[in-house]
Copies of this chain bind each other. A is one copy, B any other.
């Protein structure tokens, strides 16, 4: 069929030098999908011709899994290297290993034969700076020197991090998740997932986390994983040349990122599905699953701490004590230096903030066994009692618990404040672990309070039925776990993926019911304040064109209210199928900046026959002017199927452009409710949609128009939507 042939000509991309989309523009999902199907069909047809083509087609079919394998392996390796480097550099702030300078404190003392099991973190090979430089390990002088060097190292690390980001890869800052969400929804941000960003983000992430700032490394790890995904896409033309297919790979890469950030492969897949991805077919689910598996496996093979549950909190950072109110946002390097300084100065003296937050969370999650030496477990023991370790009844709190409570309460307030300031700085920074730490502290405080109430007032009605005196009724560690889940859920609005990550992280499968209840409750409460999670808010702040699947559009407007041109505006810029000259087209391209033009039968009938892309039109005319004899400014451009009949011999040669005409543009009628239009844009991933009435072209609606209309309906500034 003739029409088919022409359509396929168009899909074949006759102009290889047309890069498909411009930077900061939205892709057309339907077009990408149709291009991929076409490519696939070609390979299938060819594969019947020879064995070599058959092998090539099999390789093509398996390339998806190969990419996943590569992504999983590289992501796992990078995460392992980051973990080891962070461990080493965090310890470097305190001291150095004499037997091998590249050992962290733990590695140093593990390799030492002189340590006993009880005192694993003290060994002669590991020397604090003061001890190494002055020979004294105790006393005020040594303390001040250690303190000074701790702050100095922190400032050095954070200065390096912020400078590297500024100079080499500005896209490496932040967590990257809002941008990745936007990219996955079909937006183009060139360089955001580039090799340079990958390298700088990996290095600066280590520096930022080691400096002790109140930030996590999970979000950045997702960004790093997506950079890996993008990197491996370029190996296969199937993915590098198709923005739609590329996004399938990136969705899976995001899953691998979360998988290594938490050691939670299933949680990673669900996070990608629930939180990050836009177009997530079942095939991507399986591939994400595979990538997450490989990544977790690789990390486990590299990272020596991956086998113990308590060390699944990989992130190391410290939090400060005092409120900070200056506004330094305009001077990013200074901002980072000042906040690092404050953080380091205040974190050192306090036992709870000096240690890494992973250890803090571990301690808060843990129940007090008999061997526990933590201040939080300073309970008054009943001397007459000898029970197995794991089944200690509720006891009255000792002085250590009360002082710990007081310190935790202070740490809670300041952690909330400093995290707010830290999570916007121009360095790689994640929010998961800081949020979890806040929730865990609050949960533990509540837990201890309830425990003591239950112990001292076990005749109260609320305790009476389920708590006998001398029984182990209240587990403060569980309260901390639930608190961490609730806080993280409130910040990100995750539910299912949150619970799965929490129990993959803690191994607490039996606490699934409280965790689920916490997730649902925190979502309800947070939704009462506003429907958007932290990532959606960031997307909105940046004005990205993100059509959230969660926003329900319930207004009564119709397509005719949204389409352009509006009544006061000049008529729509259209081409006719057989009466526009080359010059007319060139003028239209020069005078407007639209991404494409509808083609109609004639200006009188206005019946739509197709849509032509600006870029393809530009290139086609330029090529024709150069290569095709007789094409001049007065040549008529034809989009018709039949050969044009040239009236007189002296007329200039016509230019046939049907091959670049999209004969199946998406149309809706002017009476279509906007709700349906929004749904179509969301589900089919359109860039634009033409509006007709009784077959006549009336106007056009672009994704930007839809987003601006939605913003207007929600009483927001429509100009906040900046990109197309």
Residue numbers of A with Cβ under 8 A of B are 1, 3-4, 7-8, 30, 33-34, 37, 40-41, 44, 265-266, 269-270, 274, 281-283, 285-286, 289-290, 293, 296-297, 300, 495-496, 499-500, 503-504, 507, 509-510, 512-513, 516-517, 519-520, 523, 549-550, 552-556, 558-560, 601, 607-609, 663-665, 667-673, 675-676, 679-680, 683-684, 692-696
Contact = CB atoms under 8 A, between A and B. Distances in A.
What DSSP secondary structure best describes chain A's contact surface?
A: helix
A695 B607 contact: yes
A695 B608 contact: yes
A556 B7 CA distance: 11
B293 A520 contact: yes
Contacts of A44: 554
A513 B293 contact: yes
A98 B259 CA distance: 55
B285 A675 contact: no
Given A289-B516, A607-B696, 6 more contacts: A285-B495, A601-B694, A607-B694, A609-B693, A664-B668, A667-B669
B4 A496 contact: no
Contact of A512 (B30, B266, B510, B696): B266
Given A608-B694, A694-B695, A675 B34 contact: yes
A495 B286 contact: yes
19 contacts: A4-B558, A33-B676, A33-B679, A41-B554, A265-B513, A266-B496, A281-B550, A282-B549, A285-B496, A289-B495, A507-B510, A559-B664, A601-B694, A607-B696, A608-B695, A663-B672, A664-B669, A695-B695, A695-B696
Given A265-B512, A684-B680, A694-B601, A520 B7 contact: no
- The list of the 4 closest CB pairs from A to B, nearest first, reads A695-B695, A663-B671, A664-B672, A607-B695
Contacts of A665: 669
Contacts of A667: 667, 669
Given A289-B520, A517-B293, A37 B675 contact: yes
Contacts of A663: 669, 671-672
A281 to B, nearest CB: 7
Contact of A509 (B507, B552, B554, B683): B507
A102 to B, nearest CB: 28
Nearest to A3: B671
A517 B297 CA distance: 11
